[in-house]
Amino acid sequence: MTMPFYVPPEQLIKDRAEFARKGIARGRSIVIVEYADGVLLMGENPSGSLHKLGEIYDRVAFAGVGRFSEFEALRVAGIRYADLKGYSYGRADVSGKGLANAYSQTLGQIFTHEVKPYEVEVMVAEIGLDRAATQMYRVQYDGTLRDVERFGAMGGSEEQLTERLGEAVDGLTDLPETVRIAAAAIEDVEGNGIEPSGWEAAVLDRTAGRRTFRRLDPAEIEAARHSG
């Protein structure tokens, strides 16, 4: 009779975390930045159809980095969660915090119990009627849930982008300036010029009415990048 192969639990968790981090690091980074009228989500994405940013509900948006099939499954699950809760209770009961908690539980369960952890990190943003009501959350591959204040980044260049944005985002008011600063940080850190069609950007804009999510087209991004 052969003895089963034993791996100490702490080593197993360490190996899973390293595996997930390596997969996420291969992905292109995304930044999230708060400005006067809402929240900007932006990153490099050469694909015009495989989106890393998306709308979840009226005032809630999603961003994911890492393995596309895995964060896309989370995005779709988030939409179903929001639709069901909004239908069963009320639209006002759908919140970014509730969605982030659901993602945290799902990713934590997968990380602990499944053979392979998800190689993803996600961000959830929600805006309210004023700037004080803005909420942003980051959920890591192991289910760790953190608040994001004013700005944040995730992906392969997370630390450098966070440092770069911290030096530049104070006092941001309008969208063009926010796009320009976010794009400059990504290009500086990633070390390459990005074509106009290579950007993906979206906003939650509290001045837009009930549905606040809006994608920015390449022309709008380019105009903002060369403003100021």
Whole domain around residue 185: which residue ranges?
Answer: 9-223
Q: Measuring CA to CA, how many Å separate 60 from each of 17, 97, 105, 172, 208?
A: 28, 10, 19, 21, 13
Report the C-alpha gap between 98 and 141 in whole angstroms: 18
Task: From 159, 203, 205, select the one nearest 185 (Cα to Cα).
Answer: 159
Please check the confidence at residue 124 and state whether its pLDDT lies above 60: yes
Task: Return the CATH number at 124.
Answer: 3.60.20.10
Residue 3 lies in a domain: no
7-11, 135-139, 217-221 — which is least confidently predicted?
A: 7-11
* Cβ partners under 8 Å of residue 165, min gap 6: 31, 33, 151, 153, 181, 182, 185
Report the C-alpha gap between 226 and 202 in whole angstroms: 18
Task: From 226, 183, 223, 224, select the one nearest 44 (Cα to Cα).
Answer: 183
Burial of 187 (0-12, 13-18, 19+ CB in 10 A): middle
- Tokens 């549905």 belong to 211
How many domains does the chain fold into? 1
Residue 2 lies in a domain: no
pLDDT for 172 equals 66
Q: Encode pLDDT of 53-99 as tens digits.
A: 999 998 999 999 999 999 999 999 999 999 999 989 988 899 999 99
Residue 1 lies in a domain: no
Q: Encode pLDDT of 145-197 as tens digits.
A: 999 999 999 988 888 999 998 887 776 678 999 999 999 999 988 767 788 88
pLDDT for 6 equals 65
pLDDT for 157 equals 86
Q: Encode pLDDT of 99-123 as tens digits.
A: 999 999 999 999 999 989 999 999 9
